[in-house]
Amino acid sequence: MGIIGKIKSMEHKRRTMQWSSHRHDQYRVHQWRLQSRYQMPVRWKVYALSVFGVIPDELWTLTYLTNLDLRQNYLTGTLSPSIGNLTRMQYLSVGINALSGQVPKELGKLTDLRSLYVILDFISGLQTMTLQAAYPNSLGIGQTLKACKQSPVFPLSYSDGGFREIPLEHMRHINEANLLFCDTKCNRRIGDISNGSSSLAFLNDMKSLNVLILRNNNISGSIPSNIGDYRSLSQLFLGNNKLTGPLPAQKSTSLLNVDVSYNELSGSFPSWINQQDLQLNLVANNFTIESSNDRHDNVVIDMHSSSAFSVLPSGLSCLQRNFPCYRNSPLYYNLSIKCGGPQITSRIDQIMYERDDEALGPATYYMTSTKRWAVSNVGRFGENNNARYTSNSSSQITDTLDSELFQTARISAGSLRYYGLGLENGNYNVSLQFAEISILNPPDWRSLGRRIFDIYIQGNLVWKDFDIRKEAGGTSFQAVQKEFQAQVTENYLEIHLFWAGKGTCCVPSQGTYGPSVSAIIATPDFVPSVSNKPPTSSKKNKTGLIVGISVPVGVLCFLSALALCCFVHQKRRPRQNEDEGKLEKGKESLPSLLLQSDFCPTT
């Protein structure tokens, strides 16, 4: 059987798929191009056809191929060592398939290879390859091993979960022409580097940076005061470090995504915090929250409007370090949140889940008006500026009577934290509820995505590499509930879902990765002694007191005036009659008199 026949036999489970030598749709139909002299194909494209089966060995005999694209199918098995025969290959794409096993060492024979696209979670062995490449798995922007022609690529090794540890001090030897990696547009970027302890001084000569993401790196010192000179910088994510001092007085107008949460920053706020469309997360620092800084209870922030303004949402004072609101004076003893969706009451136990459908951004936080709970989000889904950080599905969810509870979820591209505030101290039972509603069920290339994240409660890692579908037996659209215990000692509860760079990023679509949670419940494992009701504001109390006093006084004054008016009216009536008699008797003509009693309500 020839190679075309072999390939056609792979579609026996996909009757609707068509493989032909003519092009109907450049994105859906197999296309190939012949080398004119030898009538041999030089380009072969089988893209997004959900073809099922192994790659036929005959494919590796097409030695004139320079471009082979097998992405987004359901190809199984391993890559054959015969791939080394394709020595003219320049662009090789086998990503988003069900391939497994080791990358054959013969791949090293492809000396003219310029672009290689694979999924590192399914194929291993790249760590030992010598490739001019720049896309480790932790980027979450395609995982394409593609050399950036604009600048030399700093040597890195690859692992299943992302970067191996790179001492931060090595960064001092990199200048702006020799950066760690670049994205698909060759933007200059620097990403998470672990096992380091240093300052940001190495950035002094890197003013062409577009993206700076250095989270969880034990970085100390202050944010460079000249950060405003970095005119191309659009994303600055420095969360979970040990930065001190104030925010810089100036920043460039291009810098619209800033996360400095979980540091030790202090001082007051610069004027640029009110810049239009700015995303700014300042949670868990030591800022001075003046009344002018936390005055925005009545400001509506429309994150989808082109005229949105970055006014700090209310509640930042409650979300500084140690979460001071209701410290030592708790109000609540439970928590129930419908993450990423509207208010819902469950059918089984009649629990009312509070709504969590606010539109979040890549560096934002939100606190409810009752100060009962809050949420903080950090992370950006690639270049998507319109992400709502929620997902939804109309599919029925199995293993639950409350399908609606799982049809929406709060998602994040990095770090998602929920805070229970003003909780009575004691032991709590925490229930986290999940369902994978974005990745489909097999066999289909859209089922090949893997969502993996870590779960922390009260700062303790309680589940590493949590995989919703794995816990559901490899199935999507199935409810998963996990129970944990937590001890509240300072009147707040923190639940942290964190993406550590594992799993896939783009299956079935860009941005399908990171934490996803459908609902959260926290209940006390003790007998509560607090009311579990939100406080009544002092303003309302004062208003009620004034109204309560002024209304009775007003009524009393009105009745007194009414009685006096009627008394005067009755006293004057006999005298009026007597005067009228005298006038009649004297035949005198006088104009009519307007008596004060005419204003009395009784007349």
Number of folded domains that form the chain: 3
Q: Could you tell me the pLDDT band of residue 574, with boundaries at 50, 70 and 90?
A: low
Q: Could you tell me the pLDDT band of residue 314, with boundaries at 50, 70 and 90?
A: confident
Specify the 3-state DSSP secondary structure of 10: coil
Q: What is the mean pLDDT of residues 169-195?
A: 43
Residues 589 and 505 in one domain: no
Q: Which residues pair with 236 in a beta bridge?
A: 212, 258
Q: What is the mean pLDDT of residues 1-14?
A: 46
Say how far apart CA 337 and CA 517 lie, in whole Å. Answer: 10
Domain extent for 72 = 1-131
Domain C-terminal end among 80, 113, 131: 131
Terminal Cα distance for the chain, rounded: 113
- What is the percent of the chain with per-residue pLDDT over 70, rounded to a whole number? 65
Residues 393 and 435 in one domain: yes
User: Which of 16-25, 84-93, 258-267 comes out lowest in average pLDDT?
Assistant: 16-25
Give the single-character DSSP code of 363: E
User: Which of 284-293, 452-461, 537-546 comes out lowest in average pLDDT?
Assistant: 537-546
Q: Could you tell me the pLDDT band of residue 183, with boundaries at 50, 70 and 90?
A: very low
Residues 576 and 487 in one domain: no
Say how far apart CA 353 and CA 351 lie, in whole Å. Answer: 6
Residues in the chain, how many?
A: 603
- The predicted-structure confidence for 422-432, as pLDDT tens digits, reads as follows 999 999 999 99
- The predicted-structure confidence for 96-152, as pLDDT tens digits, reads as follows 888 888 888 898 899 898 888 876 555 555 544 444 333 333 333 333 333 333 332
- What is the percent of the chain with per-residue pLDDT over 90, rounded to a whole number? 50
Specify the 3-state DSSP secondary structure of 3: helix
Q: Could you tell me the pLDDT band of residue 70, with boundaries at 50, 70 and 90?
A: very high
Domain C-terminal end among 131, 151, 183: 131
Residue 215: closest CA among 188, 242, 234, 233: 242
Give the single-character DSSP code of 99: -
pTM for the predicted model, two decimal places: 0.74
Residues 427 and 502 in one domain: yes
Q: How wide is the angle at C-alpha 437 spanned by C-alphas 435 and 439, nearest 5°?
A: 115
Domain C-terminal end among 457, 492, 524: 524
pLDDT at 557: 59
**What CATH number corresponds to the domain at position 116?**
3.80.10.10
Structure tokens at 111: 């000396």
Is residue 141 a contact partner of residue 186, using CB atoms and an 8 Å limit? Answer: no
In a domain, 148, yes or no: no
- The predicted-structure confidence for 195-211, as pLDDT tens digits, reads as follows 555 789 888 888 888 98
Say how far apart CA 476 and CA 404 lie, in whole Å. Answer: 15
In a domain, 476, yes or no: yes
Is residue 230 a contact partner of residue 252, using CB atoms and an 8 Å limit? Answer: yes
Say how far apart CA 107 and CA 51 lie, in whole Å. Answer: 23
Task: Enumerate helices (H) and strands (E) in the chain, giving the number of each.
Answer: 4, 35
CA–centroid distance for 556 within its chain:
59
pLDDT at 172 over 70: no
Residues 499 and 354 in one domain: yes
In a domain, 280, yes or no: no
Specify the 3-state DSSP secondary structure of 399: coil
Specify the 3-state DSSP secondary structure of 367: strand
pLDDT at 167 over 50: no
Say how far apart CA 330 and CA 314 lie, in whole Å. Answer: 20
